[in-house]
Amino acid sequence: FFHEKVTAATVIAILLSLAGIALLNQTGDGTSLSLWGVTLVMLSSLTYAIYIVVVNKSSLRMSSVKLTFYVLLFGLFTIYGYTLAMGETVQLLVTPKQWLYATQLALMPTVLSLVLMVIAVHDIGSTPTAIMGAIEPITAVAIGVLVFGENFTPRLAIGIVLILTAVLLIIGGKEMSPHKITLAISRVGKRLAKTWRWKS
């Protein structure tokens, strides 16, 4: 819609990040994913992508904090309206511990994340911001392994390598030719193959 120039580095980075995220989210025990859940995730990703592009291309100019405030305010009214429409009640926070957790949840992964995302979109554009946002599942895997004792499998390792490669391609995308990208990927693949052969 906005006639952005699509480079080879961007296309390869998108494919690598999608493959990496698929590996990180694939069930390890072979069970099938919920079709409804996958649909909801795709719709959520689509609306988030539209939001990132609109923030980058909109003629509306305001500070990142102010824009984040209006986005969260709209989300508040939307959730409250949905709650009333479904006949549900709002559960109030009553203990200091609940308020502490709610405050941390509101500030760290919500307000701070959205403000920094808006700043990133304005500084580097929507496509690099979206691709570098693929680091989020890597964080989730790291927390799962280090905090909750989940198994770190070769599938997760390959997924992380693919995502980090995509991020590095975006960082140096303007200086990357298709030949250099293909050469770099082949070298990474050979090193991974040697590593797994050595371990086995």
**pLDDT per position as a tens digit, 105-138:** 888 888 888 888 888 887 888 777 877 777 777 7
How far separated are the first and last CA of the chain, in Å rounded?
Answer: 49
Question: Could you tell me which of 24, 13, 14 has the C-alpha nearest to residue 160?
Answer: 24
Q: Check: CB of residue 185 under 8 Å from CB of residue 150.
A: no
Parse the chain into domains and list their residue ranges: 8-59+127-199
Q: For the whole prediction, is pTM greater than 0.75? A: no
Q: Which residue has the higher pLDDT, 86 or 184?
A: 86
Nearest to 20 by CA among 180, 155, 125, 177: 155
Min mean pLDDT across 20-29, 72-81, 90-99, 150-159 is at: 20-29
Q: How many helices (H) and strands (E) does the chain have?
A: 9, 0
Rounded average pLDDT over 165-176: 69
**Measured between alpha carbons, how far is 129 from 114 in angstroms, rounded to an integer?**
12
Residues of the chain with pLDDT > 70, as a percent, come to 80
Q: What distance in Å separates the CA atoms of residue 16 and residue 10, rounded to the nearest whole number?
A: 10
pLDDT tens, position by position, 142-158: 888 889 888 888 888 88
